[in-house]
Chain A
Amino acid sequence: MKTNFLIYRHPDEVLLSFQGGLFVAFLIVISALNISVFSMTVSLAWIPLAAIFLWPRWSHPFMTPVIIAVLGVFSDLLLGRFIGLSSLLYLILFWAAKPAEREVQLSFVKSWLEFALMTILLLMISFYFFGRVLDLAVGWVAVIEQVFMVVFLYPLVFLLRALIRARVIDPNDANYNL
């Protein structure tokens, strides 16, 4: 169903913002985990980007950027990164993908491709830029590994998000979110 963003405000927009924020916060905690698979340590460092991309439609337009920025700083503090790096990348993705303004429901395959393209461009360009500006050697192997993991795990995040939406939040209304 297509709904014009310019003439529609959802009555639960504040709640939707917090719902998106909670999901991102959950993935930030998951991203800090040390997961070993077949003697390899899997890095989920940028998995919260998937939740930013799947941010609920019709969420509050002013609260959402604030929540995303705060969560980004929290992520940086937790993972020992430069403060502001995650919030910057989260906000750029949010700016580019405009998930809160989606007019139609997401199709899984299309959204996956869009997300993959955006994430690859965003992470590669940002790290190249910061590496140059801050005069730091960028660990490209780690970057490629992390980009691959976040793109690879996107379907899982999509499924989790859809399940939470359908089972927990509002079983009767699966119309306005994903």
Chain B
Amino acid sequence: MARTHHKRTERLARRRLFTRLLILSFIFISIGLVFISRTSNDRFAPLRSGVEDSAGRMISAVSFPLRKIKDFGVGVENLRLAKQQNDALRSENVELKQYKFRHRALQAKLERLEGVLSVTNGLDIPQDRVAVRLISETRGPFVYSVLINAGRKAGMQIGYPVMSDDAMIGHIIRVGERSSRVLLLQDLNSRVSVMSQESDARAILIGKNDEPPELAFFDDLSDWKDNDLIVTSGDDGILPQGLPIGRVRSDNIAPRVLLVPKKPHDWAWVYPFMAVQTPEQDPALSNEDGSLVKETGKER
């Protein structure tokens, strides 16, 4: 009896030792995966898209009651403030009508001047936009991103800018069938070509995770002043020019940008924008191997 008990204890002790080794091996595998993922994140992109697509619908379903509770709260708050908001909106509307007339007049003037100079260098912010819901937000120690409920089927493409009501919040970095991942401007990997609307000075906006994004790679003589409005410059050919981002705030190290949207965003707008293609990327001008089609004398 005692021997059987001893044998059983020994067997279970071995079993426990094996469990420890198994956990240890998985820990080492996980460490390896972190390093692989850090160096070649693109390798996992299709897998990530698949998981985000399938889990996106589940997250939407789970968050449904939460959204309803929140909507109810917002509804009650709106009712409470209805009179006050109505008065404010009426006076704002009167003011905006003046801007509307001025905008129309200026637009017509701009078109005439562009016609005279034979240029078409107006704003390239797309007229069409797609409303999307932010179904999941990741704000971690290493990553700032959100998941939106629109993917390839809704016409999303990598690089499309994502805006809140007030300003740009990030751009799409991965597209699935029904969901897309948006890299926020705060993220350490975010690099956006920007300019000051006041002085036209150019820079690259670099995400800094917790801290406000930093302006870098600018000319030493460029003129950055506190409270300058920062907009996308469009120099990268990936984003349209003129999307508002935030305002400059001086810092001892470098000028930083206080991003405009501070409130949590539940809904956002995606602006479909066709990035400027290099000649190598243009299928009409390039060969299958990516080299440019050589012009012949005959073709000329």
Contacts and interface: CB of A to CB of B under 8 A. Distances in A.
Interface string A53-87: 00000000110111011001110111111111101
B63 to A, nearest CB: 5
B77 to A, nearest CB: 11
Main secondary structure of the interface of A (DSSP, over half): helix
Contacts of B147: 32, 80
B55 interface: yes
Contacts of B55: 29, 32, 78
A84 B32 contact: yes
Interface in A90-112: 91-92, 94-95, 101
Contact of B52 (A77, A94, A138): A77
Nearest to B142: A136
B183 to A, nearest CB: 9
Most B C-beta atoms less than 10 A away, residue of A6, A7, A34? A34
Contacts, number: 174
A40 interface: yes
A140 B38 CA distance: 19
B188 interface: yes
Task: Give me the 10 closest cross-chain CB pairs, A-B, nearest first.
Answer: A84-B33, A88-B30, A139-B209, A61-B19, A77-B51, A83-B37, A84-B30, A84-B34, A32-B136, A139-B210
Interface of A: 5-7, 9, 29-30, 32-36, 39-41, 43, 45, 61-62, 64-66, 68-69, 72-74, 76-85, 87-88, 91-92, 94-95, 101, 127, 130-131, 134, 136-143, 146
Interface of B: 5, 8-9, 12-13, 15-16, 18-20, 22-24, 26-27, 29-38, 41, 44, 47-48, 51-52, 55, 58-59, 62-63, 66, 70, 134-147, 181, 188, 208-210, 263-264, 266
